[in-house]
């Protein structure tokens, strides 16, 4: 504030002295021009009288000689001689048609017509005319005065440079600059003392207020940071609105749920415009209208499909004058929970169905055996073989379910060690070679030399067994399964490619689902549980890898797995 007062004083001083200097300069120029004009008019009238006298006396008038003679006389100083301090007077004689008939400074015969000159026209109409022209050559203004000589139909024009105008103007502005500097010096002293006198008590007051304000702001910031951290860390979305539905508070989770960008920037926007969902707006409106809490479960279609559970509660007014001062929404995204419930329901249903089929078959054949079939040894053996097959199928199914459950429950695998991948693949091939021989399917495998993997050996074998076994089962007679393992881009890549029946495109996106079968009847006949590829997918996910499928019906299928090396 002290600095501002000082600056204002200086600016006012400069402005005041400058304005004064400007007006003095203008006034001086005005009086100088008036005096110079009066002098030139006097000269012109003197020449006018002389010409009129010569004409009355019958004397010849040589205007060009007159111009030279009177220019020399009028331009000389008091001693009669020209010097550098003399003011050059220029004389021109112009007839009423505008033609120059005499000139003191140049050859009048080469001069242009002066009919359009302002001072000439004014002299013709008013007897006396004046004007100021700027000379580019001399870079100064010239004052022109013209007087009509009626008896000779000639206009006498006298001109003189306004040289003193520059000197006067320069002198005034020099004094103005000196005045400004002196004023700044004096004003600085006064302004310094005055600013200290005025601002000292104000500064003290403001310092006290500033300290108090800083403390208050710091406390508020601290509280806001804590509240923001808590609210934005919550797993549920929170939106608070006033009684006009304008957003007062919104956390990061709510912005994520509704696809709102620039969360802080939406404060003050009406919720109806921000969240275009009729059910949410309706339930919040009911809460604010009835001053009671509500719960609603709804589906959100945009920006992505979500199932939400919305809790609404009124914001009670402190003064209790109005019913409430707004409302709060707590939004819980239960999409994953609902999906898990659906998966669990489907899983239970599928497991029940899959277990029921072999159990029903086993119980049916046991009942048949009890009812006398045991007496027929051929029939009894056949039925016992079927019971054994169904029991084996039941055992495999239960084992797959347990394996899948065990893999799903893990965040990371156990029994991790470094293994030679060649040994793992070789052991896997030896397990499945008999199955391949019975199906007349050849197994062709190749592993990059020295390739090692850090993993649970049994888990990698299980993954390969499921994929190679599928390649054998769904292959054609005399078909083949190719197994390749190599390192690329810091990833270990497995390729299991068969020449089997292939998978139609519409089924590829679902083949990793539990119990999903492309051909349900054929899969069951081959002993499949529908969990093999789901187990493979979960093993790949357990190791943060990815799996891709490329298949053409009638030509075969290739599974490509990439695991971090």
pLDDT for 437: 92
- Flag the least confident range among 37-46, 147-156, 398-407, 449-458: 398-407
Please, where are the H alpha helices in 409-529?
Answer: 421-438, 457-473, 505-508, 520-525
pLDDT for 472: 92
Decide if pLDDT at 20 tops 50.
yes
Residues 61-86: what's their mean pLDDT?
A: 67
Residues 61-90: what's their mean pLDDT?
A: 68
| 497-499-504-509 Cα dihedral, nearest 10 degrees | -10
Residues 155-169: what's their mean pLDDT?
A: 76
Chain center to CA of 30: 62
SS3 153: coil
CA-wise closest residue to 101 among 167, 177, 165, 155: 155
The residue ranking higher by pLDDT, 31 or 145, is 145
Prediction pTM value: 0.42
pLDDT for 84: 43
pLDDT for 83: 44
pLDDT for 150: 86
pLDDT in tens, 112-147: 888 888 888 888 888 888 888 776 655 777 888 888
pLDDT for 528: 60
In the chain, how long is the greatest CA-to-CA distance? 180
pLDDT for 199: 65
CA distance 254 to 237: 4
Cβ atoms within 10 A of the Cβ of 131, count? 17
Decide if pLDDT at 373 tops 80.
no
Q: Quickly state the pLDDT bin for 423 (edges 50, 70, 90).
A: very high
Decide if pLDDT at 242 tops 50.
yes
Mean pLDDT of the chain: 80
38: its two tokens = 């009066």
Share of the chain above pLDDT 90, in %: 13
pLDDT for 79: 38
User: Which letter does DSSP use for residue 87 in this model?
Assistant: P
Cis upstream peptide for 384 (omega within 30°) = no
Q: How far is CA 48 from CA 66, 69, 70, in A?
A: 11, 14, 12
Are the C-beta atoms of residues 482 and 445 closer than 8 Å to each other?
yes
Decide if pLDDT at 164 tops 70.
no
Are the C-beta atoms of residues 191 and 7 closer than 8 Å to each other?
no
CA-wise closest residue to 91 among 156, 41, 143, 40: 156
Q: How far is CA 180 from CA 11, 190, 196, 473, in A?
A: 10, 15, 23, 106
- Flag the least confident range among 291-295, 429-433, 465-469: 291-295
pLDDT in tens, 225-238: 777 777 777 778 88
pLDDT for 426: 93
The residue ranking higher by pLDDT, 322 or 290, is 290
CA distance 185 to 140: 36
Q: In what order do the strands lie in the sheet with 247-250?
A: 247-250, 237-242, 326-333, 306-314, 294-300
Share of the chain above pLDDT 70, in %: 84
- Flag the least confident range among 377-386, 418-427, 475-484, 514-523: 514-523
pLDDT in tens, 218-227: 888 887 777 7
Decide if pLDDT at 557 tops 90.
yes
pLDDT for 82: 42
Are the C-beta atoms of residues 120 and 114 closer than 8 Å to each other?
yes
pLDDT for 49: 85
- Flag the least confident range among 11-20, 165-174, 486-495: 165-174
* Angle at alpha carbon of residue 560, lines to 556 and 563, rounded to 5°: 165
Tell me which residue has tokens 């001053």: 291
Q: How far is CA 451 from CA 444, 493, 564, in A?
A: 18, 11, 13
pLDDT for 483: 95
Contacts of 524 (CB under 8 A, 6+ apart): 357, 517
Q: Quickly state the pLDDT bin for 386 (edges 50, 70, 90).
A: confident
Decide if pLDDT at 64 tops 60.
yes
């Amino acid at each position: 504030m002290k600095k501002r007062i000082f600056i204002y004083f200086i600016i006012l001083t400069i402005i005041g002295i400058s304005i004064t200097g400007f007006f003095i300069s203008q006034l001086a120029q005005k009086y100088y021009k008036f005096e110079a004009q009066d002098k030139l008019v006097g000269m012109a009238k003197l020449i006018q009288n002389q010409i009129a006298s010569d004409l009355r006396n019958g004397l010849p008038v040589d205007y060009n000689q007159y111009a030279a003679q009177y220019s020399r006389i009028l331009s000389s100083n008091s001693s009669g001689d020209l010097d550098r301090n003399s003011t050059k007077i220029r004389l021109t004689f112009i007839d009423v048609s505008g033609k120059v008939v005499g000139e003191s400074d140049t050859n009048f015969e080469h001069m242009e017509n002066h009919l359009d000159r302002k001072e000439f026209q004014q002299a013709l109409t008013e007897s006396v005319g004046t004007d100021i022209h700027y000379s580019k050559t001399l870079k100064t203004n010239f004052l022109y005065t013209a007087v009509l000589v009626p008896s000779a139909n000639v206009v006498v024009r006298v001109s003189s440079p306004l040289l003193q105008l520059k000197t006067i103007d320069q002198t005034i502005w020099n004094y103005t600059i000196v005045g400004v500097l002196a004023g700044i010096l004096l004003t600085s002293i006064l302004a310094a003392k005055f600013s200290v006198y005025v601002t000292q008590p104000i500064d003290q007051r403001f310092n006290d207020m500033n300290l108090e304000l800083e403390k208050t702001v710091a406390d508020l910031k601290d509280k806001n940071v804590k509240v923001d951290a808590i609210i934005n860390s919550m797993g549920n979305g929170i939106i608070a609105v006033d009684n006009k539905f304008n957003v007062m508070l919104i956390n990061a989770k709510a912005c994520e749920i509704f696809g709102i960008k620039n969360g802080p920037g939406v404060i003050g926007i009406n919720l109806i415009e921000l969240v275009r969902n009729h059910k949410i707006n309706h339930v919040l409106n009911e809460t604010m209208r009835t001053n009671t809490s509500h719960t609603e479960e709804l589906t959100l279609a945009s920006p992505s499909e979500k199932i939400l559970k919305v809790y609404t509660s009124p914001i009670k007014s402190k003064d209790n004058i109005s019913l409430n001062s707004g409302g709060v929404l707590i939004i819980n995204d239960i999409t994953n929970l609902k999906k898990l419930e659906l998966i669990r329901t489907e899983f239970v249903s599928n497991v029940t169905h899959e277990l029921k089929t072999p159990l029903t078959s086993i119980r049916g054949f046991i009942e048949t055996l009890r009812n006398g079939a045991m007496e027929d040894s051929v029939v009894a053996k056949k039925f016992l073989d079927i019971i054994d097959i169904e029991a084996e199928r039941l055992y495999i199914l239960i084992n797959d379910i347990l394996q899948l459950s065990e893999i799903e429950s893990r965040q990371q695998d156990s029994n991790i060690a470094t293994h030679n991948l060649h040994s793992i693949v070789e052991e896997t091939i030896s397990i499945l070679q008999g199955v391949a021989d019975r199906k007349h399917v050849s197994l062709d495998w190749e592993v990059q030399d020295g390739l090692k993997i850090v993993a649970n050996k049994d888990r990698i074998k299980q993954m390969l067994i499921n994929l190679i076994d599928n390649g054998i089962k769904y292959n054609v007679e005399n078909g083949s399964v190719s197994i390749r393992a190599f390192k690329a881009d810091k990833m270990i890549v497995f390729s299991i490619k068969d020449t089997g029946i292939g998978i139609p495109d519409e089924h590829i996106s679902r083949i990793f689902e539990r119990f999903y079968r492309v051909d349900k009847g054929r899969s069951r006949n081959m002993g499949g549980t529908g969990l093999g590829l789901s187990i493979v997918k979960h093993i790949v996910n357990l190791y943060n890898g990815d799996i891709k499928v490329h298949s053409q019906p009638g030509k075969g299928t290739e599974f490509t797995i990439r695991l971090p090396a």
